Structure 1
Amino acid sequence: MSIEVVNITKKYGAQEALKNISFGVKKGEIVGFLGPNGAGKSTMMKILTTYLTPTNGTAKVNSFDIETEKIKVQKSIGYLPEHNPLHLDMYVREYLAYTASIYKSDKSNIETVISQCGLLPEANKKIGALSKGYRQRVGLAAALIGNPDVLILDEPTTGLDPNQLLEIRKLIKEIGKEKTILLSTHIMQEVEAICDRVIIINKGEIVADKKLTELRKAQSQTIEVEFDYRVEEVLLQKLPHVNHVKNIIGFVYEITFNTDTDMRATVFDFAHDNGLKTLQLNQKNKNLESLFIELTNK
């Protein structure tokens, strides 16, 4: 297990930021760590990087204890904080050489991460002259300079334009082929595009911890159908797995099913058997964003 968190609680005076949190991340997983502002995400990440000490509980990174083996934990982790702390007056290669010296990393790693993060065209420029997207690449390169087994990325795509966002997404997925990644973000599309699994935290507690495939299967399925004639809702409610039927407008109905089986064929057969024509038939499953809102508004 690359990351093991067992019953972590963190208090700031009377305020409980984390409440008995437990989870694990296996080697090679890319896990999205989600939650609204103030949920405890950054606190948990700072505990894993040994910046903060938990009030109660234990955690390990690469089997190293965060309290008794801090240096070994720090060597095992590459960390990109939400506010990327770059030295804007330094050149890219200069800054990465400086970071490598702190980690006592082999200097050959400098050119490796420059290439890996697509920084070759900008390597001889000052960091202050770079775009936001390239500054994020420099931050990722610095996180990778010590060749860590685990990457912790806190809001790595904040402030990027759509093109930069796609580039960083591609880069993170590529890095994830070799590293374990714990990724915090508010952008649900990023999680769906990058992550294998999602942990959702709300008010200091975990409210969901599942693989994305499992979350999608667990979601209710909504089908919007338009017939050429009005149908009594009671007839539609007799379809298998129906949870709710609503007449939207005219001959358009919204039918919610509690199953991951595609029910469009069942609705089409219903129309055929009752002498109706199907004018439109669309599946409207919940996305991760709507599930996130549902879980964090409870």
Structure 2
Amino acid sequence: MIQVKHLTKRYGDFTAVDDISFKLENGHIYGFLGPNGAGKSTTMNIMTGCLAATSGTVLIDNCDIFEDAQKAKKLLGYLPEIPPLYTEQTPTEYLRFVAEAKGVPAKQIPGEVARVIEETRLTEMANRLIRHLSKGYRQRVGIAQALLGNPHYIILDEPTVGLDPLQIIEIRDLIRELGQRHTVILSSHILSEVQAICESVLIIAHGKLVAFDTPQNLEKTLATANKLTLTADCGEAALQQILDSVPNVATRETKPDGTATLTVNGDLTAAARALFFAFAKANVALLQLTPQKADLENIFIELTEDDPQPETPNQNAVKQEEVAPDESGV
């Protein structure tokens, strides 16, 4: 388990990470999202011990990343956005070097390097110079170095950035496989990728954690989850008259061509049923009735727009761990 408690990072008067807390359970794939400058890469760098915090605590299986860094870091594998590759080495040479730097026992290094090469499907490229590899294979080398030592937690910062669509699919499949054996924290700007892979999503904006839940639960809490669009075989006046008879329609926007966008109170299915029968009673054909599904893109935009964030995030959208303030700092 990874526990982040009241984590804060300041650069002079600028607060990059603002008192965030969360808990990551073992055996899941987590998505970590935020606009550029929101603080997510800073948070990931602090979690991996690459950057000091101003205050707060990060516990990796109860090992403090600041107080017991060597032990905590053995539990982590990290792929930064720009993989730290030595391009004049082959993947095999580079991975041996990283294994030594990570403190893998000398007798175990050949087997460990062979294991991660196989896991990341680098076998055919293992003895080519890294500078001759495609961007996709370089990312695989970066992921392979994160897997050395068989850490419990794999943290991947933008692992598919700059890849072509086929390479993205290949890396996505690899991450799914890793999620069967490790806890994975994935940062990405490709929202469809996060929605396809991750079981839970953390969203950070303005340095604050504004959401932590499954995509499905987030859909239920946002405004777009209570919207319907419809098209009826009638004019705007008749459409307005029929909608007047339907309970629980909170707001509506109608057009002369018989289309409308509605916000409804209560259960969406019950509202759709009421609309269907209202149009049937009026003997007007209801040509289309569609709920507006709140996909991860809608969720991201709604939670990270530039409007000022509340001091306390919406508790229906945020699942922060309740922790006592850290008195000691770092």
Instruction: Please give the TM-score of this superposition, normalised by the length of structure 1.
Output: 0.94
Residue 61 of structure 1 is matched in structure 2 by 60
Residue 140 of structure 2 is matched in structure 1 by 137
1:180 aligns with 2:188: no
1:283 aligns with 2:282: no
Question: Equivalents in 2 of 1:35, 1:104: separation in Å?
Answer: 34
Q: Percent identity?
A: 41
Question: Equivalents in 1 of 2:154, 2:266: separation in Å?
Answer: 36
Residue 303 of structure 2 is matched in structure 1 by 295
Assess if the C-alpha contact under 8 Å between 1:18 and 1:205 holds in 2.
yes
Q: Per-residue CA shift, 1:62-111, capped at 9, x if unaligned?
A: 21001110001111100000111111111111111211122233221211
2:264 to 257, 260, 269: 257
Aligned-CA RMSD value: 1.7
Question: Equivalents in 1 of 2:86, 2:217: separation in Å?
Answer: 42
More displaced 10-residue stretch of structure 1: 232-241 or 59-68: 232-241
Q: Which amino acid aligns with 2:300?
A: F
- Cα shift at 1:229: 1.2
Q: Matched residue of 2:9: which SS?
A: strand
More displaced 10-residue stretch of structure 1: 188-197 or 118-127: 118-127
Q: Which amino acid aligns with 2:15?
A: E
Distance 1:236 1:83, change over 3 A: same
Superposed structure 1 runs of 4+ greater than 6 Å apart: none
Note the residue ranges of structure 1 that are not aligned, 5 or more in a row. Answer: none
Assess if the C-alpha contact under 8 Å between 2:219 and 2:299 holds in 1.
no
Residue 280 of structure 2 is matched in structure 1 by 272
Residue 222 of structure 1 is matched in structure 2 by 227
Where do 1:70-219 residues align within 5 Å?
70-105=69-104, 106-107=108-109, 108-219=111-222
- Cα shift at 1:158: 0.7
Q: Which amino acid aligns with 2:103?
A: K
Note the residue ranges of structure 2 that are not aligned, 5 or more in a row. Answer: 308-330
Counting strand residues as a fraction of each chain, which structure ranks higher?
Answer: 1
Assess if the C-alpha contact under 8 Å between 1:227 and 1:277 holds in 2.
yes
Q: Which amino acid aligns with 1:31?
A: Y
Q: Which amino acid aligns with 2:41?
A: S
- Cα shift at 1:147: 0.4
More displaced 10-residue stretch of structure 1: 83-92 or 270-279: 270-279
Question: Equivalents in 1 of 2:52, 2:40: separation in Å?
Answer: 15
Question: Equivalents in 2 of 1:87, 1:229: separation in Å?
Answer: 67
Assess if the C-alpha contact under 8 Å between 1:218 and 1:260 holds in 2.
no
Distance 1:130 1:267, change over 3 A: farther
Instruction: Please give the TM-score of this superposition, normalised by the length of structure 2.
Output: 0.85
Distance 1:260 1:291, change over 3 A: farther
Distance 1:200 1:237, change over 3 A: farther
Residue 247 of structure 1 is matched in structure 2 by 254
